[in-house]
Structure 1
């Protein structure tokens, strides 16, 4: 049987981001985080501040449900705080579309 290496943190962080955005955040936060790019930046912000955690499972057992109980309630609270910090950073410095002067096709005339 083959084994798979699963990132335990990613599904947990994504679930907490979904929960925070669906729950107590204002509409301006949700509007800022609607794009995949800003949501990925938020997940990257949180994941970069957590220790890496992986688990090896058989391919026949591979399920994201296995990761649900890998973090304590205290760790979930810490991740939730990191999500709120990341949202504050993204809202304070929103992603701006690139200006026409930065498009590579105009670099050489």
Structure 2
């Protein structure tokens, strides 16, 4: 059987990024980081700052791997969560102009003109 190298850190970082982003307002944070390029920048930001964990497994066993079980320490999760929050702030500030051009401001429907009068 053939063996393969599996990155155990990436799925944990991706899951933590999703969990943290769920705590942020939809506009503009969740909208901004739903853009694949910004999401990739966030994941890269975190991965560059945490030690990577890899393992070698049989290719047939790769699908059954549970990377989250190898990163279950509260300290590791907290470190990744903090790095995700720092990354969100950093990338958001770094790309503020681009985000403002590509994600329109939400308007309060109470101030929108009504078409009720025809």
Shorter-normalised TM range: 0.7 to 0.9
User: Of the two, which has the highest radius of gyration?
Assistant: 2
Task: State the shift of 1:63 in Å.
Answer: 2.6
Deviations 1:38-82, CA, capped at 9 Å, x for gaps: 000000000000112101111111037421111112101100000
1:77 aligns with 2:78: yes
Task: Tell me the residue number matched to 1:107.
Answer: none
- Matched residues, number: 96
How does the TM-score come out when normalised to structure 2? 0.75
How does the TM-score come out when normalised to structure 1? 0.80
1:50 aligns with 2:46: no
When the two chains are superposed, the root-mean-square deviation of aligned CA atoms in Å is: 1.7
Tell me, which stretches of 5 or more residues in structure 2 are unaligned? 100-118
Between Structure 1 and Structure 2, the one with more helix by share is: 2
